[in-house]
Chains A and B, each alone.
Chain A
């Protein structure tokens, strides 16, 4: 069979090398110019026999989502992989191990659960790994070698990647891993000679793989992030890890503090002292931070809070994805407390979005909540990032010399933004407080003052709106079915639209990284041009739909998926088709 696109999943338990297999496969594919997306799913327990999977999807054209179904399942751990077989497409393949010690009972045998529509590929992974390395390690490389042959991918590229991944562990490890790869390749060549063809375009440029978290980190650094404070939490920890490594090299700071309250406090403090500052957390951390975010709103201090969303209320599902934090981001505060909420849709957005977030925070002296999610943050993909490096960037509004003569920290202006200087600079003598305050910053509880200051704080958002670019409209402009999505769901939506289009149904999508505020006229015009509006999102309540409904008075078809896995494009296309049938009635 010929393939133009493939989805390959490794499933195993801790220690099986699931993640590194995915990494090598993805990097090898990116190396030959393919577009790749990788998604890791693992259990919340740090150690032990939790199950983990890595899915790698690749094609010649842009991969927007993890798609539906997989072509190949590599069952490194038999018992755990049984549940994954249902995702394998008809005529797909399952690789299972025939080289493990001891008897296997029927119920825990992967082979026993492979229906006849799926091909089993029985490879003595463990035995071959032992042959290559003397131990069981390297089973994953045997499997990678096997799949390299099964889909006739170029082995050289894999060998380069193995070298790259393992070189820091020494020559011997590289050698044994390459041997394991070869043995897997040769075993398949001998026993399963009927391999598939994967069409590769000659001469494509190698691509770079990056995760959402990495892109976000890089974006922040490139636009002058100076200070990062945080407390580790899955799935945001990676951002801090990277900052800890990279920021000091640029004379910046990264500190790990005792909890999220301390983290946001430090960020607000650093920002108050004039530095670009950011923290990253996940839902539970955002809850803890809400009080200090409110202080930043009141005291008009820039701050960027990245929330890499995970599942469930409370500690919930630490290693699963959900888009359930939109409400807390928008509304989770006391008082009339406006803040900017942004949600990137892919790694490119993470890079440019975080730059915009930092710029907006500084320019409008307000906290920005940046809602990434686990799927987006952790997945690797080939991204076409346009780098914009300006580490000296500053978007703070400085006071004029006249204004400096009589410096008012909260001067009432037309756009709501008061000129800002950092304490310690000449003339910068002012109070900041969480209490309502006068233009000088001194506490004041008069109704009039509160009215003026509240209006001023909200006026900043009106000013911001006028500056926002139009939202993107994707798909067929003349379609009657419109979709509004946010965050990482966009990828699945785009793909779902593609599926529907293949069946002759057109649709279009409005995509905006800005959730609040938004370029509202884009939305109004878009909704006006649609006969049916679909709003899919990964939460139970329909949080984005609720926002759109109140804001634009629309009646959308809502798809609520309290998700633990990324949204399936098939589900989106189904809804598009349903909407289409309703329309054509």
Chain B
């Protein structure tokens, strides 16, 4: 259903085809677990409006400063600019950081209070996002945080050289500004305590994350000098007594880290900063299987950390109460199912005085038993605690999902539906020359200063650089269409197309999922229309400029602001219709 609003050039739609158009055509937004309006904020940066850029981010993903630094960026690999022959993806993540660096403002929306109380256990990304969304709805939200500062993994599991604590604090403050209360140093240990909270509050959300390191049981694992990744990280970050101090004081020279995720890489880089002379990272699979972004890998390699792949630890050697090395065996990777099997007789020893295992984390099992959180109940679970260790953005997305569940539970509403707003425009504000700008590199702390423990490595874009980088974005939220009633089939657009994005079509089929299929033809007698394949289209505007009869329209497709509170407000009639 499409409906024209008061403004002649704006429509709102709940039509599946329009919703699907966004999924197919704005790949970055679709890839983002929390569906951040990426072209929206990049366009705002392009126009120099950092405040709007920040606001769009703040609405969608709640933690722009944090995610602008340490997001694992599922958006960038799917960026249209990175497709074959088109160059490199837009630096979406760094631009998000620029939005926060230059556009962060107090966020003061109008909130109608609701006299219902929600308790959230865990002040990490999932908990914070849920708290934000519920607070915007008007609920009174309290977060219980076990550590002395909020942020969960953000403030203790991620090293400050990647994410300074100030940034976390800034993003958290913008949530507490909405009236969310955070009780620090409050740990919920078991089901009984949860039961108590369930009575005290209208709803309870457990977003406790994955705080327990996965362990391996190999000979010598108990030796002094063996650490578990997360513990090592927390200790190094917070300098907790015992492990922390001894770590910093210890004379770690040769460190071997095993694991292939962010924590492993963070541990290796932290060890380098703590003074280790030689640091190696060993992973049982291959580099491609590592669950980290390319730039983390590059930074690690630049810092001189050695990499070993297809190796699994089999034992720890120690002498006089101190680790002296770790032995590994090589793995073979099976070609059919990619499982790994050790190669018999391939054991070898790597010398080390410290060994860090960072092979994953799990939720604390003893807090709740399986099967808790039934639908009728007022107890909810979210984030890594629900789905296992993942990324910040996935945890935040899950927090949002939980927030919606809680809202539905407390308000007895039936649901809501995505609404697409469509604005007709004359031009996109981009120039063809922008398509040829190279991806802007971000300045980094020089290598000789990388031993400084808490010094942030990524320095962010300057304003100028962020403007240049923002111009690179194709702004895929623009939909280019040829009005076949006015088209004179002159093919002027085909003459100037930059890719094979415009064609003579004999048919466009829409399948049940809303996907469009252009059936191309070379024959004039079969041709029904000249069509633009928006999936291939890079929004360069060449066709619009070349069209002699001005029959190519441009319209901007956006999802109504995703802070779901406003969905009904944007299109009340849409809601009614869709739930008949």
A102 near B433: Cβ-Cβ < 8 Å = no
CB-CB contacts of B470-507 with A at 8 A, as 1s and 0s? 00000000000000000000000001111111000000
How far is B575's CA from A78's CA once the two chains are assembled, in angstroms?
55
Chain B, residues 506-543, CB within 8 Å of chain A (1/0): the string is: 00000000000000000000000000000000001010
Instruction: State whether B500 touches A136 (Cβ < 8 A).
Output: no
Q: Give the distance to chain B from A579, nearest Cβ to Cβ, in Å.
A: 53
Annotate A88-115 by CB proximity to B: 1 below 8 A, 0 otherwise. Answer: 0000000000010110000000000000
- B497 pairs with A130, CB closer than 8 A: no
A130 and B435 form a contact (CB under 8 A): yes
Task: Decide: A102 and B432 in contact? CB cutoff 8 A.
Answer: no
Interface bits B287-308 vs A (CB < 8 Å: 1, else 0): 0000000000000000000000
Chain B residues 120-167 with CB under 8 Å of chain A are: none
Cα(A295)–Cα(B506), bound, Å? 61
Among residues of A, the one whose C-beta sits closest to the C-beta of B542 is A135
Nearest A residue (CB) for B500: A102
User: A119-135: which have CB < 8 Å to B?
Assistant: 127, 130-131, 134-135
Which residue of chain A has its CB nearest to the CB of B431? A134
Minimum CB–CB distance for B499 against chain A, Å: 4
Contacts A102-B499, A136-B496 known; A130 to B436 CB distance under 8 Å?
A: yes
Are the CB atoms of B498 and A130 closer together than 8 Å?
yes
Q: Is the CB of B85 within 8 A of A134?
A: no
For the complex, what is the distance from the CA of A15 to the CA of B495, rounded to whole Å? 10
Q: Are B500 and A101 in contact (CB under 8 A)?
A: yes
* B436 surroundings in chain A (CB, below 8 A): 130-131
Q: What is the CA–CA distance of A58 and B435 in the complex, to the nearest angstrom?
A: 38
Residue from B498, B499, B501, B540 with most neighbouring chain A CB atoms (10 Å)? B498
Would you call B546 an interface residue if the criterion is a C-beta within 8 Å of the partner chain's C-beta atoms?
A: yes
Query: Bound complex: CA of A101 vs CA of B86, how far in Å?
Result: 11
Q: From A135, which residue of chain B is reached at the shortest CB distance?
A: B496
Are B85's CB and A135's CB within 8 A?
no
Residues of A contacting B540 with CB < 8 Å?
A: 134
Q: Give the contacting residue for B546; candidates A99, A130, A131, A135; CB below 8 A.
A: A135
> How far does the alpha carbon of A581 sit from the alpha carbon of B243 in the complex, in Å?
100
Q: Do the beta carbons of B433 and A131 come within 8 Å of each other?
A: yes
When distances are taken between beta carbons in the complex, the residues of chain B under 8 Å from A131 are 433, 435-436
Binary interface profile of A, 117-157, with partner B (CB < 8 Å = 1, else 0)? 00000000001001100111000000000000000000000
Tell me which residues from 436 to 476 in chain B have a Cβ below 8 Å from any Cβ of chain A.
436
Please, how many residues of chain A have a CB less than 8 angstroms from a CB on the other chain? 10
CA distance A37 to B191 in the complex (A): 94
- Given A15, A99, A101, which contacts B497 in the complex, CB threshold below 8 Å? A101
Residue of A15, A99, A134 with most chain B CB atoms under a 10 A cut-off: A134
Name the residue on B nearest A102 (C-beta): B500
Shortest Cβ distance from residue A428 to the other chain B in the assembled complex, whole angstroms: 59
Measured CA separation A170–B196 after assembly (Å):
80
Do the beta carbons of A136 and B495 come within 8 Å of each other?
A: yes
Distance in Å from the Cβ of A17 to the closest Cβ of chain B?
A: 13
Cβ of A130: which chain B residues have Cβ within 8 Å of it?
Answer: 432, 435-436, 498
Query: A136 contacts which chain B residues (CB < 8 A)?
Result: 495-496, 498
* Chain A interface mostly: loop
Residues of A within 8 A of B498 (CB): 101, 130, 136
Interface membership of chain B positions 529-562, coded 1 if the CB is closer than 8 angstroms to chain A and 0 otherwise: 0000000000010100110000000000000000
- The residue of chain B having its C-beta at the shortest distance from the C-beta of A15 within the complex is B495
Nearest CB to that of A126 among chain B residues? Answer: B498
B489 → A minimal CB distance (Å): 15
Verify B433–A99 contact, CB threshold 8 A. no
How far is the CB of A123 from the nearest CB of chain B, in Å? 14
Report Cα–Cα, A135/B498, bound state, in Å. 8
The minimal Cβ–Cβ distance linking B81 to chain A, given in whole angstroms, is: 14
- How many Å lie between the Cα of A127 and that of B432 in the bound state? 11
**B266-280 interface code vs A (CB 8 A; 1 in, 0 out):** 000000000000000
Give Cα A136 to B499, complex, Å: 11
Q: Is the CB of A101 within 8 A of B499?
A: yes
Considering the chains assembled together, what is the distance between the CA atoms of A102 and B499 in angstroms?
Answer: 7
For B433, what are the chain A residues with a Cβ–Cβ distance below 8 Å? 131, 134
Give the CA-CA distance A135 to B542 in the complex, in Å: 7
Shortest CB distance B504–A (Å) = 14
Contact between B499 and A134, CB atoms less than 8 A apart: no
When the two chains form their complex, are residues B500 and A134 in contact, meaning their CB atoms are under 8 A apart? Answer: no
Quote the shortest CB–CB distance from A137 to chain B (angstroms).
Answer: 8
Q: For the complex, what is the distance from the CA of A411 to the CA of B498, rounded to whole Å?
A: 75
Query: In the complex, what residues of B have CB within 8 A of residue A135's CB?
Result: 432, 496, 542, 546
In the assembled complex, how far is the CB of residue B320 from the closest CB belonging to chain A, in whole angstroms? 59
Determine the residue in chain B with the shortest Cβ distance to A127.
Answer: B85
* Residue in chain A with minimal CB distance to B87: A127
Q: Are A99 and B431 in contact (CB under 8 A)?
A: no
Specify the chain B residue showing the minimal Cβ separation from A133.
Answer: B432
B182, chain A: closest CB distance, angstroms: 52
The CB with the most chain B CB atoms within 10 A, among A99, A130, A131, is that of: A130
* Docked CA distance A15–B85 (Å): 24
Specify the chain B residue showing the minimal Cβ separation from A128: B436
**Which A residues are in CB contact (< 8 Å) with B85?**
99, 127
**Interchain CB contact (< 8 A) of B432 among A15, A99, A101, A134:** A134
Closest to B541 in A: A134
Q: How far is the CA of A99 from the CA of B500 in the complex (A)?
A: 12
Residues in A with CB closer than 8 Å to B435 are: 130-131
Distance A130 CA – B437 CA, assembled complex (angstroms) = 12
Beta-carbon contacts under 8 Å, A354-386 to B:
none
| Closest chain B residue to A131, Cβ basis | B436
Distance in angstroms between the alpha carbons of A582 and B497 in the assembled complex: 61
Q: Which residues does chain A contribute within 8 Å of B495, judged by CB atoms? A: 15, 136
A317 to chain B: closest CB distance in Å? 28
A482 to B10, CA, bound (A): 85
Q: Bound state CA distance, A131 and B435, in angstroms? A: 8
Q: Please give the distance in Å from B299's CB to the nearest CB on chain A.
A: 28
Instruction: Collect the chain B residues with CB atoms within 8 Å of residue A99's CB.
Output: 85
CA distance A127 to B546 in the complex (A): 18
Once the chains are docked, how many angstroms separate the CA of A135 from the CA of B435?
Answer: 12
A-side contacts of B545, CB under 8 Å: 134
Bound Cα distance A15, B501 (Å) = 20
Which B residues touch A102, using CB under 8 A?
499-500
Cα distance, A136 to B546, chains bound together (Å): 12
In Å, the complex CA distance between A131 and B431 comes to 11
Shortest distance between the CB of A469 and any CB in chain B (Å): 55
Query: 4 tightest A-B contacts by CB?
Result: A134-B432, A102-B500, A101-B499, A131-B436
A-B contact pairs, 27 of them (CB 8 A): A15-B495, A99-B85, A101-B497, A101-B498, A101-B499, A101-B500, A102-B499, A102-B500, A127-B85, A130-B432, A130-B435, A130-B436, A130-B498, A131-B433, A131-B435, A131-B436, A134-B431, A134-B432, A134-B433, A134-B540, A134-B542, A134-B545, A135-B432, A135-B496, A135-B542, A135-B546, A136-B496
- Interface set of A (CB-CB < 8 Å, partner B): 15, 99, 101-102, 127, 130-131, 134-136
